[in-house]
Amino acid sequence: MSWDVLGHEWAAAMLRGHLAGGQARHAYLFTGARGVGRRTLALRFAQAINCTQPPEPGEPCGACRACVQTARMQYTDLAILQPENPGAPVKIDAVRELTRTLVLAPYESSHRVALLLDFQNANTNAQNALLKTLEEAPPKVILLLTAESGEQLLPTIVSRCEVLLLRPLPLARLQDELVSRWQIAPGEAALLAHLASGRVGTALGLHQQPELLQQRQAALDDLAALLPANRIQRFAYADKMTNLQNKTGEERERIRLRLRDTLIQWLGWWRDVMISASGESDALINIDRRAEIETAAAHLPAGAGLAMTRALQDVLEGMDSNLNLRLLLEVLMLDLPVIELSVTDPAL
Amino acid sequence: MSQALYRKWRPNQWEQVVGQDHIIHTLRNAVKSGKVGHAYLFAGPRGTGKTTTARLLAKAFNCTAEDLATRPCNQCENCETINKGRHLDLIEIDAASNTSVDDVRELREKINFSPSQGAYKVYIIDEVHMLSTAAFNALLKTLEEPPPHAIFILATTEMHKIPATVLSRCQRHEFRRIPVNEIKGYLKTLCEQEKIQVDDEALVTIARQATGSMRDAISLLDQLASTGEKITLGYAQTILGTATNQSVIDLVSAILEQDSAAGLQRLHTALDAGTEPRQFARQVVDYLRGLLLIHLEAIDQLDVPEDTRKMMVTHGSAYPLPGLMLALSEFNRAAADPRSAWQPALTLEIALANAIANLDRSATVVKDDEPAPAPAAPRAMKDNKSQSPAQPTSSTPAHAKVEPPPVAKPAPEVQPVETTTPVEPASRMDEEAPEPAGVRSDGAEAKGHNQVSLMDIDRAWAQIHEIIKRKRNQTAGLLNSCRRLAIKDGALVLGFATEVVRSKMETPENINITRAAIHEVLGITIDIVCIVAGKAGNLPANLDIDRDGMIGTALNMGGRIIDKE
């Protein structure tokens, strides 16, 4: 088994070089968009560090106990620090606990590896508490951090790590890989590659969970139905989507997430309208809805795509800062232009 | 495991500290003349040498070399143990992990013991901004008058978090960012000693990327050098995720030509080649900042190669200042925006679109003959033009300037004659179609005709009503049951619940009294039209309410118009 990290061959080559040459650093930071493969690469690196029978220097075998357990994130010398729930903050106590255990020698392998996932979720205190350990880690300790971007961390954290900026794959390449590696039909592969914007993890997630694709279709159908609708129908929709009455906390959260997903799909759609309106029609995300998008781009005033993209971004931001869902959606409904998507000739 | 280069190359002599001459000079002189302060505070951005200088200073104070000027000598026992990190009297405290008041109290208990190995006990408190307020306060007395054998060196990146009482007890030294040239020079000597082969251009890229922090620069170099091969510019760009200078220049050219298709294409080409979106945004910001410097006539501050400078001057003179400022903040936002999860490139695309849309927003000239470089962007506009030839000018400025917010109606239908062409009031009265611009337009129009709006009348209504009451009580009574609906074509529209009341009101006498009262209060003559408003939702068509507009919808849902502004 080799590194096998799609699209990050340069990073794998570099990390392999570090291990093979005995030059591994004490801290690495993997940044990149969600689903791009940060954790996969970090885990693979952890495997390579502690593999008991590497086929070649710097290569994980994937079969020994250390490799298998590392892949499951259950290895004794692999300390993992991640938010308890997705999006929940990492607290200072967790970091302190981690730094305390890192001082101890590894149980069985050559290095103790600490994996700090989504460290952008750590609050300022927690990040500060890691600084000294990160700068001069105890011997035999390697810290691996992942984050969406360096900007979300303290600059002092970033400057202490070797930063690996993981980027999405070019779409054509991802499409080919999806077809050849995972035997996905070319048509679907093209759509997945575009929807994921080149992020392998996201594309595979969509493939393995067809209901996500269905939700996407439903969200875009809703949008298509709302565009020609009048305000009463739109408000009825907003009411339906955000009816929180007599719901438990869990149900409310589900409603929130569903609305969020819907809005993210809409954002992609409007982004496509914006792109299409500026004449660069090759770069669409929702390629299966090209006709719809081009109609909208042709019939709306030039800035509408941009304005709606902005509006949706603001609404999403509002959702994240816990504003009233219904109010947000209703305001969005008022911003939404009225347009008949099926009509081809606007003069009619 | 080998040590990271930045740890291996941590300076252990004064001469090796780069770019902080003002501080090193002062401290060396202090050591030379044997003037030992009891508390120092080192502040400055990351990677500029605070911890390093703190250790150097501690070493110099404890060095046993005969000649004060040669301290630290790096030869005596004290120097060596400090270099190896096991001197007993150099106590380095991580204030970020030991933030509490108890940690400080513990320190206070131990500080009174005399040093066991050197002449001074040196406490380096790193990341000191993280101490809690109570901890800071507990430290105050000790910091002001520590025992003669104790020295404090506080180091922080965030001086604004340090209480003033602490600041005033310390000798303060502020570290500055290290200029690109000095970083580059240091990296070069480092490469020679480490036998790393590297292109000059790649070094510049690294030095720029480090934004004034030596640790960042050395880390990057370390990362790039790890393969053992020569570091070329191309390789550096792959690893760092930076775009070529040319792609940034091309993008700015596209913005200046208002060619959004080409701009997006260049953007996507760069991203497909492996450029990291934020990184790209940062590079664009860097370039635009150069243009701004040109605008501000600070061209000598530009730190770029000659050919880029020429390009910048061309671009700079072509770019209007307000548009430039906007583009700068747009791209800056794209570089710092944490909302990248949904679509990594989205913020960049938005920034580009906005920069193009607002390129010359200050310009008032209508660019009618502008060649349409983006085939589709003006397409929608052209469609409009072909449909409504009656108003050839109105759509063009919108194209050159800021876009209007999305209209609540389909664009094609919006444009026909009504909104822009003035129509005779008489002909408007029997117009059936609701006005597209909605209710808001009537206020504005009324102003044009009468210099009064419904709001003015509403404000004065109590007064008007009073006057009418004095003249004829019955009229006032009738008016009690009416609603002031709108000002339409120079006439005040009063709505009554039933036909009976309306006909009673609509006698010349009543109307005249009311008109006179309005004239008396507001000084204007206004016609009065009485209608039956009936139930809500059943509004007469000649009221300017767009049935599908906001108010129409609200009425359909059971709303009632209570007041109108």
CB B492 within 8 A of CB B526: yes
Nearest residue to A288 via CA among A343, A200, A226, A224: A224
CA angle A162, A166, A169 (to 5 degrees): 160
Chain B interface mutation, best of A167, A200, A332, highest count of B Cβ atoms under 10 Å: A167
Strand order in the sheet with A78-81: A78-81, A112-116, A141-147, A27-31, A162-165
Looking at the structure, do residues A289 and A260 belong to the same domain, yes or no? Answer: yes
What dihedral angle (degrees, nearest 10) is formed by the CA atoms of A149, A151, A153, A157? 100
Instruction: Tell if the CB–CB gap between A280 and B265 is shorter than 8 Å.
Output: yes
> What is residue B90's predicted lDDT score, i.e. its pLDDT?
92
Question: In the structure encoding, which two tokens stand for residue B163, read together?
Answer: 């209480």
The domain total for chain A is 3
Domains of chain B, first to last: 5-174 (3.40.50.300), 180-240 (1.10.8.60), 250-357 (1.20.272.10), 441-556 (3.30.300.180)
**Does a structural domain hold residue A294?**
yes
Instruction: Tell if the CB–CB gap between A197 and B276 is shorter than 8 Å.
Output: no
DSSP helix/strand/coil, A163: strand
CB B39 within 8 A of CB B202: no
CB A339 within 8 A of CB A227: yes
Looking at the structure, do residues A57 and A154 belong to the same domain, yes or no? Answer: yes
Tens digits of residue pLDDT in B371-422:
434 343 344 444 444 444 444 444 444 444 444 444 444 444 444 444 444 4
Using an 8 Å CB-CB cutoff, list chain B residues near A275. 264, 349
Instruction: Tell if the CB–CB gap between A33 and B341 is shorter than 8 Å.
Output: yes
CATH number of domain containing A324: 1.20.272
Using an 8 Å CB-CB cutoff, list chain B residues near A23. 1-2, 226
Residue B296 contacts by C-beta under 8 Å, 6 or more apart in sequence? none
Q: How many Å apart are CA A296 and CA A348, to the nearest integer?
A: 16
Question: Å from A307 to nearest chain B CA?
Answer: 7
CB B228 within 8 A of CB A21: yes
Instruction: Tell if the CB–CB gap between A279 and B377 is shorter than 8 Å.
Output: yes
Of A264, A268, A302, the CB nearest to B403: A302
* Residue contacts between A and B (CB atoms, under 8 Å): 245
Tens digits of residue pLDDT in B524-546:
778 887 877 755 444 454 455 66
Question: In the structure encoding, which two tokens stand for residue B343, read together?
Answer: 């679509």
Looking at the structure, do residues A157 and A179 belong to the same domain, yes or no? Answer: no
**Does a structural domain hold residue A3?**
no
Q: How many Å apart are CA B508 and CA B493, to the nearest integer?
A: 16
pTM for the model stands at 0.68
DSSP helix/strand/coil, B94: strand
Nearest residue to B251 via CA among A212, B259, B278, B51: B259
* HEC per residue, B285-325: HHHHHHHHHHHCCCHHHCCCCHHHHHHHHHHHHHCCHHHHH
Question: Could you list the pLDDT tens digit for every one of the 348 residues in chain A?
Answer: 577 788 888 889 888 888 888 878 889 999 888 888 899 999 999 999 988 888 888 888 888 999 999 999 889 999 999 887 766 788 888 999 999 999 998 988 889 999 999 898 888 889 998 988 888 888 889 999 999 888 888 888 988 888 888 888 888 889 999 999 889 998 889 999 888 888 888 899 899 988 989 999 999 999 988 888 888 888 889 888 888 777 788 888 888 888 888 998 999 899 899 888 887 777 888 888 888 888 888 888 878 888 898 899 889 888 888 888 889 998 998 888 888 776 444 443
pLDDT grade for B167, boundaries at 50, 70 and 90: very high
**Does a structural domain hold residue A155?**
yes
Mean pLDDT score of chain B, rounded to an integer? 78
Residue-number span of the structural domain to which A176 is assigned? 170-208
Residue A19 contacts by C-beta under 8 Å, 6 or more apart in sequence? A48, A49, A57, A58
DSSP helix/strand/coil, A76: coil
**Does a structural domain hold residue A119?**
yes
CB B380 within 8 A of CB A277: yes
Average pLDDT of the residues in B119-145: 92
Tens digits of residue pLDDT in B110-120:
999 999 888 99
CB B482 within 8 A of CB B502: no
Instruction: Tell if the CB–CB gap between A306 and B403 is shorter than 8 Å.
Output: yes
Instruction: Tell if the CB–CB gap between A306 and B274 is shorter than 8 Å.
Output: no
Does the interface ipTM go beyond 0.85? no
CA atoms lying within 13 Å on the CB side of residue B428 = 19
Looking at the structure, do residues A239 and A223 belong to the same domain, yes or no? Answer: yes
CA end-to-end distance (rounded Å), chain A: 63
Q: In whole angstroms, how far apart are CA B331 and each of A68, A274, B249, B284? A: 44, 17, 14, 7
Of B279, B378, B406, the CB nearest to A304: B406
**Does a structural domain hold residue A347?**
no
Instruction: Tell if the CB–CB gap between A316 and B339 is shorter than 8 Å.
Output: yes
Q: How many Å apart are CA B97 and CA B309, to the nearest integer?
A: 47
**Does a structural domain hold residue A323?**
yes
Q: For residue B302, is pLDDT > 90?
A: no
Q: How many Å apart are CA B451 and CA B448, to the nearest integer?
A: 6
> What is residue A44's predicted lDDT score, i.e. its pLDDT?
92
Looking at the structure, do residues A101 and A140 belong to the same domain, yes or no? Answer: yes
Looking at the structure, do residues A187 and A98 belong to the same domain, yes or no? Answer: no
Count CB-CB contacts under 10 A for residue A212.
15
Instruction: Tell if the CB–CB gap between B46 and A159 is shorter than 8 Å.
Output: yes
Average pLDDT of the residues in B15-19: 90
Nearest CA in chain A to B337: A151
Q: How many Å apart are CA B513 and CA B328, to the nearest integer?
A: 62
DSSP secondary structure code for residue B564 in this structure: -
Chain A interface mutation, best of B251, B272, B331, B361, highest count of A Cβ atoms under 10 Å: B272
Looking at the structure, do residues A76 and A190 belong to the same domain, yes or no? Answer: no
Q: Is the dihedral of CA B332, B336, B337, B342 positive or negative?
A: positive
Using an 8 Å CB-CB cutoff, list chain B residues near A168. 271, 344
> What is residue B123's predicted lDDT score, i.e. its pLDDT?
95
Q: How many Å apart are CA B470 and CA B504, to the nearest integer?
A: 19
Q: Pick the residue with more confidence: A200 or B360? A: A200
Of A149, A230, A278, the CB nearest to B548: A230
Q: How many Å apart are CA B445 and CA B442, to the nearest integer?
A: 5
Low-confidence winner among A61-75, B219-233, B283-297 (lowest mean pLDDT): B219-233
Nearest CA in chain B to A331: B550
Q: Which of A130, A165, A200 is the last residue of a domain?
A: A165
Question: In the structure encoding, which two tokens stand for residue A321, read together?
Answer: 């800062």
CA angle B369, B372, B374 (to 5 degrees): 165
Question: In the structure encoding, which two tokens stand for residue A198, read together?
Answer: 């080149």
CA angle B552, B554, B559 (to 5 degrees): 115
Looking at the structure, do residues A314 and A175 belong to the same domain, yes or no? Answer: no
Question: Å from A129 to nearest chain B CA?
Answer: 5
**Does a structural domain hold residue A343?**
no
Of A33, A128, A161, the CB nearest to B127: A128
Nearest CA in chain A to B260: A278
Question: In the structure encoding, which two tokens stand for residue B341, read together?
Answer: 């999860």
Using an 8 Å CB-CB cutoff, list chain A residues near B375. 279
**Does a structural domain hold residue A199?**
yes
Instruction: Tell if the CB–CB gap between B346 and A267 is shorter than 8 Å.
Output: yes
A22, with CB counted inside 10 A (0-12, 13-18, 19+), is exposed
Instruction: Tell if the CB–CB gap between A170 and B272 is shorter than 8 Å.
Output: yes
